Amino acid sequence: MVSQQLARWPQRSLAICAVLFFGTVALIFLAGLFMPDHFEVQRSVAINASSDRLHPLLADLERWRDWTTWSAKDETLVHEYSDPSTGVGAWYLWRGEDVGAGRIEITAADIERGVWYDMTFDLDPDPMKGALRYLPSDSGVLLEWSLRGKLDGPLERALGPVLSWSFANDFDESLVSLSQMLAAPD
């Protein structure tokens, strides 16, 4: 009798694991039905510098490697830039094993107001809308970085908070890097 119960143990364990796995997937899918169909991330930092000093670092996509943390996340990352790499219409392509492939294109740039861009990933052609806005501040410029994107389907919507959290961490780290870069003497 005991040997028969032990013989059935792997089958029962496998059945329990399958029920738990598919039940979890179903719960995530159901939760996604009630989640927002977009995500938005916004971070800001006070920069002790003028927009004249800040703008060249943000309006030139080649300079983003100097202050964003995205390049450090994937050693296999390959970059390609338009010529020129600055101003409206400038674009930046990336491809890497860990971060995938995508494109950023500047859609507006103003030395007094900021930089706006579209960001797309190869697996999701819907562009995310990003902005680096220069707002007045007592210490120089309050830089506000935002990104908004569409989430298609329940599974994407369920994963929206993870996507927002990931971008928020990247923004926080990059804004600290940018602040430190601008705090250094020329």
| Residues 66, 177: Cα–Cα separation, whole Å | 9
| 39, β-bridge pairs | 149
pLDDT tens, position by position, 57-100: 999 999 999 999 887 778 888 999 999 999 999 999 999 988 88
Residue 18, classified by CB atoms within 10 Å of its CB into exposed (0-12), middle (13-18) or buried (19+), is: exposed
- The predicted structure's pLDDT at residue 6: 55
Residue 55 pLDDT grade (very low, low, confident, very high; cuts 50, 70, 90): very high
Which tokens in the block code for residue 74?
């994937």
Q: Please state, rounded to an integer, the average pLDDT across all residues of the chain.
A: 86
Residue 38 has pLDDT above 60, yes or no: yes
- The predicted structure's pLDDT at residue 75: 84
| Residues 114, 53: Cα–Cα separation, whole Å | 12
**The sheet that has 100-110: what strands, in order across it?**
38-47, 140-150, 124-137, 114-121, 100-110, 91-96, 78-81
Q: Which helix (H) or strand (E) holds 90?
A: none
Domains of the chain, start order = 35-183 (3.30.530.20)
The angle subtended at Cα 159 by Cα 149 and Cα 37, nearest 5°, is: 45
Percent over 70 (pLDDT), the chain: 85
Closest of 63, 56, 18, 30 to residue 155, by C-alpha: 30
| Residues 126, 67: Cα–Cα separation, whole Å | 26
